Amino acid sequence: MNVTLRVVRLRLAEPLRISRSVMTERNAVWITVEHHGLRGHGEAVTSVYYGLDTDTLRRLLAGAGDGLGRFADPESALAAVRDGELPAPGTPPAVTAAVESALLDLVGKRAGQPVHQLLGTVDRPAAATARTIGIVSAERARTQARCLADSGFGVLKVKAGTADPEDDLARVRAVRGAAPAAALLLDPNGAWSPDQARQLLPRFAELGVEAVEQPTAPGDPEALARLAERSPLPVIADEDAVSLVDVQRLAGRVQGVNVKLAKCGGVHAALRIEELIAGSGTRLMLGCLTAGTLGIAPAVHLADRARWVDLDGHLLLAHDPWTGIGGTDGTVRAGTGAGLGVRPVPPRGTDRFPSSVAQPGVQPAAPKDAQPAALPVVQKERHHREDVE
């Protein structure tokens, strides 16, 4: 199996502010695994929160790619990822998820099946996705909510956690007024103390908020569980629910856990979490980081398994380098075709991809499986940029 990497910059359509940071762009590293003329693709994005800059991702993905060399075919390599034998112990979950994505895509193409069928789901998953409204003025939030509702979004997620909670309340009130039929989720990204959360959650419940993600600072899951016992809103753990061990600690004690493939380690890790919480009273939420369609697509193949779906990271970009899962009408759908069912978008100003990409050791793509066109390689990571949770 031949492995190649490519670095691209993903710019947001507009800055996105959350309680701890503002983000305007981030880098993505694509991993492509080729075997007998077919290619599978995966994506990992940089994250200050998880300590992953461009060089780190590139180095770790290259190491994981070297590890694929001992396998005769992608099916055996995918089994090793599923069983925790690949990549090497201690590899960050985001890297594991990207490698698994490329192998799932490739194995699906070799079998002529979409990923969801490889995972045991016959019908093509589709789900209403939340659309994030960042920390903006109430008037701006009202305008955004109205436009999103008119476009078909029935679930809106409002960021919170400013220094003045009244600003957050005004934002949610504006969104509720502009989109009265929408389900509202609230996400302070851990900005509140337990006391603040106890005081504020009843007020947000009165505005019709359906659930709240990680209201208190991560690092004290017991405090989060105690809050969930008496909260008027379902509490969904996010930053406090990273690994399977974290979820074991909170299963049955919070109303939901936000599973992000880049956080837990990929599709098979998410399925283990789903199995763990089954029957506990804790429901599954599928979330994401801001990423392209390629990075979001594996989770969409699980979308029918979740109570809440928040897979809008690709919708925040000024230009998504991939297409195939939709979402602009408020619904994400697993891509059609084998594997992930996504395809690269030609660079703006062109109508096709070049027949080959000038990189040492990289063979031109087979016509039936287009290779992404070359995009600028970013040499330096802007460390002041933060990821969106």
Instruction: Give the residue numbers annotated as catalytic, written as ranges.
Output: 159, 260
What is each CA distance from 334 to 122, 130, 148, 323, in whole angstroms? 12, 16, 21, 11
Question: In angstroms, what is the C-alpha Rg of the chain?
Answer: 20
Distance CA 25, CA 386 (A): 9
* Residues 6+ away with beta carbon under 8 Å from 201: 212, 215, 231, 232, 233
Structure tokens of 341? 């069912």
Distance CA 58, CA 68 (A): 15
What is each CA distance from 187 to 31, 134, 301, in whole angstroms? 31, 10, 24
Calculate the CA dihedral of residues 283, 127, 105, 7 and round it to 10 degrees: -90
Structure tokens of 182? 């929408």
Other Cβ atoms less than 10 A from the Cβ of 217: the count is 18
DSSP 31-100: EEEEETTEEEEEEEE-BTTTTB-HHHHHHHHHHHHHHGGG-SSHHHHHHHHHTT-SS-TT--HHHHHHHH
What is each CA distance from 96 to 61, 100, 286, 297, in whole angstroms? 9, 6, 18, 15
Distance CA 10, CA 25 (A): 6
Other Cβ atoms less than 10 A from the Cβ of 246: the count is 19
* DSSP-derived 3-state class of residue 272: helix
The order of strands in the sheet holding 2-18 is 2-18, 21-35, 38-45
